[in-house]
Structure 1
């Protein structure tokens, strides 16, 4: 498998640097005891491997798996690189890649168009036909002459969460004539170069009554701390209706810095996540929210590197993290990884009641990517894997 150099190194350079640069969110003085326990109960099962399954060299797992049922009852999963090809099938055991790219990345050199490098990172649908998607968009200024005063990817990296819509069950997505910005830094890409900047890696969208929520991380800037922030809307078909939590209410609307001079107040960071939230589900019996994420060992809250889970009643206060799967992640130095990394965790219950797989029973599957390392280089040899987990509500 071959893939463009920026694609091949995105995961390693991007997330490893973020782990070093994004300060951990301060924990509450006395963490609540966990509401739920998530444990592995099954061996790894390869869902997608590029050497066997890919359409071309762009098809590698490169983001957290997101799933929904389309209008024909087919399962649709997004987890690939910047052509955003979907896996489709009658169920999770019979997924095949659809070689039509529903949202290609066009490498546009105009940052105001938000059409450089895009990853579909969250989806929501009410009927399986119209699908709203949140896109992790990177303006990679180092690849566009004259756009950055540095040469390095991360020094020029400018990230925004934008929205796109499909009206054919996720087979194609439309970019609106005026970009639909959901979360953006209040300055343009040429400001503050020398480090990565913006909002990045949204979680999946989850529903609670009429409300929809997602968490997305920010690198921080003057007046805004780094870490995940929570967003809410009652109308995901209107990207402008998303509001971020300010510590008391969902009041913050982020404008497009290329079309607005607004300076929103800072959003409230949500503990205990050190950086992006991989995925969220709601346990059907207990109504507890359960999130999975990756963390680098820090000698205290995260004694070893790997995937952790935490649970919540309200998506704002989360309890003490519990280790789910130990292993070197993309937050760790690949030189000491032992040849393989794990990344991009999410939880999906194949028996979910909701069309968007945002609920789970007493069992689910942990989806994640494994990435082969050669020396100190993270390669494009990576698989999408799942492992069965058991979910138990604690007394």
Structure 2
């Protein structure tokens, strides 16, 4: 999954990013400070070291940790690469790694198929038997010389969010076919001349509120220069055609395949785009309802794309909201330097943060209490492909209750 080290064109060109139109920029030289409402409570636990316990060289944690409970009460945790291997056990504290690949893209060379590489990125289940998953779907055009003569990875990286489904409690997943399987696709057909990734990336976990299901998805549209974290919702989590993105005033933005019949400006772009949510960083790692306060809590990883509005301190950040649309400014929870001190690690960065909590009994892990665990994936400082370890950090949350019940 992408953890970009190169800013999008809007950031490179020093234009004000559309992602955070009302965010308060961090002044030059200002350092983020650690929040008092979410703190590290104890030293972390090593959950999985890919160099020691993996099933092969392709078995690397490479996505935010997601979990759900099946019909027998077993916890399934995914934080995998595109081989999508899980951890299964009676609780988050007692998981065993499986070498079974629950899902893989079929590496089809047609970008219209949206079936090249896929990461199971978010889950929802009502009964623990049928499980729907949002898939972070990458088309690697740079591996196809006929489509991408330059071999430029960024120019030929075409991304979407698609759907997969399991009917056996999350052991195996299959791609949802046709238009129903596409949740959010780029507003243009594949191009090899954009000099940046394009499409929708890195869906957060799914949460339910007021009869709808919600998830954040990162947008990069190099044609318009728009990028940031968008909020999508649906009344049917298992039908990609029913997901809609926030447009600034309502959930009206559909993002179907640009290869579908009647698609708007399929080659050149120009289709409607979602409006990124102010104050949030580029990629939302997870969002959960904090049960004691009723507030929503999001955790995010700082990267270079966030510098125009969020400063210079790399690490994990958190924000809070009453309604999923209006968020506090992110505050530092765990800097990379602090993480190295607590783990005794000479190097390494903490990527793909996500909160999970056994104590609330939530089948979809969409809620947390006062003592959740923050899961991160530690990688070597100079490479997102080396030194992968899944780490759990005991956290302490302290938030005052909302003055009124959330709408």
Q: Same fold (TM over 0.5)?
A: yes
Q: Which residue of 2 aligns with 1:218?
A: 219
Deviation at 1:49, TM superposition (A): 1.0
- CA separation of 1:299 and 1:256: change in aligned 2, threshold 3 A: closer
Q: Residues 145 and 27 (structure 1 numbering): CA distance in 2 closer, same or farther, change over 3 Å?
A: closer
1:347 maps onto 2:341 in alignment:
no
Structure 2 counterpart of 1:382: 388
Counterpart of 1:310?
319
- Stretches of structure 1 that go unaligned for 5 or more consecutive residues are 1-9, 330-336
Mapped to 1, the partners of 2:364 and 2:151 lie a distance apart of 40
Distance 1:129 1:36, change over 3 A: farther
Q: Summarize the Cα distance change of 1:338–1:195 in structure 2 as closer, same or farther, 3 Å threshold.
A: farther
How far 1:311 sits from its partner (Å)? Answer: 0.3
Q: Which stretch of structure 1 is more off in the superposition, 92-101 or 57-66?
A: 92-101
Distance 1:44 1:21 in 2: 37
Please tell me whether residue 88 in structure 1 is matched to residue 88 in structure 2. yes
Determine if the alignment matches structure 1 residue 326 to structure 2 residue 335. Answer: yes
Distance 1:131 1:216 in 2: 20
1:378 is displaced (CA, Å) by: 4.2
Contact kept in structure 1, 2:20 and 2:280, CA below 8 Å? no
Corresponding residue SS for 2:388: strand
Q: How many residues align?
A: 373
1:16 alignment counterpart:
5
Check if 1:78 corresponds to 2:94.
Answer: no
Confirm or deny that 1:257 pairs with 2:264: no
Per-residue deviation, 1:188: 1.1
CA contact (8 A) 1:149 1:193 kept: no
**Aligned partners of 2:202, 2:302: CA distance in 1, in Å?**
15
- Asked if the contact 1:24–1:227 (Cα under 8 Å) also holds between the matched residues in 2, the reply is yes
Q: Note closer, same or farther for the CA distance 1:205–1:117 as it changes in structure 2 (3 Å cut).
A: same
1:368 is displaced (CA, Å) by 0.4
Measured on the aligned residues, the alpha-carbon RMSD in Å equals 2.5
Distance between the aligned counterparts of 1:168 and 1:354, measured in 2?
19
Asked whether 1:274 is paired with 2:281, we answer: yes
Alpha-carbon displacement from aligned partner over 1:243-287 (angstroms, at most 9, x marks no partner): 111111111111111223433422111021231100011011221
User: Hey, what's the Cα distance between the residues in 2 that align with 1:146 and 1:287?
Assistant: 52
Q: Give the match for residue 209 of structure 2.
A: 208
Superposition deviation, residue 106 in structure 1: 2.4
Deviation at 1:224, TM superposition (A): 6.5
Q: CA deviation at 1:30?
A: 6.9
TM-score (norm 2): 0.85
Q: Deviations over 1:126-156 (max 9, x none)?
A: 1111111011111001112301132122221
Runs of 5+ in structure 2 lacking a partner?
12-16, 26-33, 265-270, 339-344, 402-407
1:34-87: per-residue Cα shift (whole Å, max 9, x none)? 998211101110111123321121111101011100111000011111111111
Distance 1:183 1:300 in 2: 26
Is contact 1:62-1:80 (8 Å) kept?
A: yes
Would you say the 8 A contact 1:35–1:288 is kept in 2? Answer: no
